[in-house]
Amino acid sequence: MHSPMETQQPERFRPMTSTVSEIEEVIPEESDRTTLLNGSNGLSSPEPVRRRVSGKLPVDGGPRRICRQQSFGQEIGHAAAETYLITGLSFKLLRYLGVGYRWMTKLLALTCYAVLLMPGFLQVAYIYFFSSQVRRSVVYGDQPRNRLDLYLPSNNDGLKPVVVFVTGGAWIIGYKAWGSLLGMQLAERDIIVACLDYRNFPQGTISDMVTDASQGISFVCNNISAFGGDPNRIYLMGQSAGAHIAACALLEQATKESKGESISWRVSQIKAYFGLSGGYNLYNLVDHFHNRGLYRSIFLSIMEGEESFEKFSPEVRLKDPVVGKAASLLPPIMLFHGSSDYSIPSDASKTFTDALQAVGAKAELILYSGKTHTDLFLQDPLRGGKDELFDDIVSVIHAGDNDALNKDTLAPPRKRLVPELLLKLAREVSPF
């Protein structure tokens, strides 16, 4: 018999006790391993997955759900280890950056920007750390940053659509928690969000980032049903540098699949790709970034030299006949960009859309007039109320689901998290 609090919580949100007799960490039996790694798609996965399970079977005799939420003590230990790692990497990065004028002004602007938006960030952080609907640091691989955060809807009535989100951060300061605001707001619309972390520079270079992203996508495709997600309704999304990384992973996977190589997830498992404020042609970006403070020497180090530009420029790779043929496997692609984005100009999405359409891929570009690089992802969501980008994404995910669409029309306006004056000031000082 459950306590009142246990009765009120859905199965996948119920906290796990730390009693040894009730919880064990196991490597699944061979039959479980096949189901867990291969899912319903029969695909192979190279890495074993360690899971944390309840020793008690569900009352209905159904399969046990995977629970990867760590204890508070474990999370403190993990946070300390990550802090130590990031501190060391920061000093290493400083040696790359030097103390140039552009870098110092950008750092000052970033500090002012964060302070102005702090009222919203604190509210989001509280939910991130204390909500039972957020599963933090689910392990998806064997690298230090191979973790993801899951944002789960409050109800448990059936399998939910899923968004795999790859965060931005100029390939240097990306972190899974940057997607927390998006994750929380989509979860309110009955959509599960998996925010991937990945190795940033200088811990890794672009090939490591793409590998991590692909491995995270594979984990979600093969295991999300254990968290209440629908493996047949998975959407891939990336923002800024994350949009570039996700696009590279998606195109690379399509190429491997077209060649008949061994894969652990299929491009057909992705219902659509959403690219927000991304850049997809490195040749066109290197000088632009240099002028904005991401110096050429650092950018070349991140991208493994100019000789790798073609390999990691999805727009350019499409000109290769082999890759162009693989483009027929790609899901529908929707690119979103603000017309006043100076960090990555909107032409980056326009030319990528043209390149995709030229090889027969289904691609669409949506431009938002007057929106900057951070308006779409931060200021607008923090403002609350109606949000064009959010509505566009939700309408695609819920297309064909009349019940969900009806709920969307009845959903209350989203809460304002930051006063308008602070939002306007933040827009003025934003370094992005």
Region of residue 277 (phi > 0: left; psi between -120 and 50: alpha; otherwise: beta): left
Q: Which of 149, 190, 341, 387 is catalytic?
A: 341
CB 52 within 8 A of CB 66: yes
Tokens of 191: 């959509």
For this structure, is 380 an active site residue? no
Region of residue 360 (phi > 0: left; psi between -120 and 50: alpha; otherwise: beta): left
The maximal CA–CA distance of the chain, rounded, in angstroms, is: 65
H/E element, 233: strand 229-239
Q: What is the dihedral of CA 254, 257, 259, 263, to 10 degrees?
A: 130
For this structure, is 373 an active site residue? yes
CA distance 331 to 343: 27
CA distance 331 to 254: 10
Beta strands in 290-382 (DSSP E): 333-338, 363-368
Q: Which of 212, 373, 375, 380 is catalytic?
A: 373
SS3 304: coil
CB 50 within 8 A of CB 27: yes
Q: What is the dihedral of CA 167, 173, 176, 181, to 10 degrees?
A: -70
Q: Among positive and negative, which fits the CA dihedral 358, 364, 369, 373? A: negative
Q: H helices then E strands: how many in the chain?
A: 17, 10
Q: Which of 45, 218, 225, 240 is catalytic?
A: 240
Peptide bond into 314 cis (omega under 30): no
SS3 52: strand
For this structure, is 240 an active site residue? yes
Residues that are catalytic: 240, 341, 373
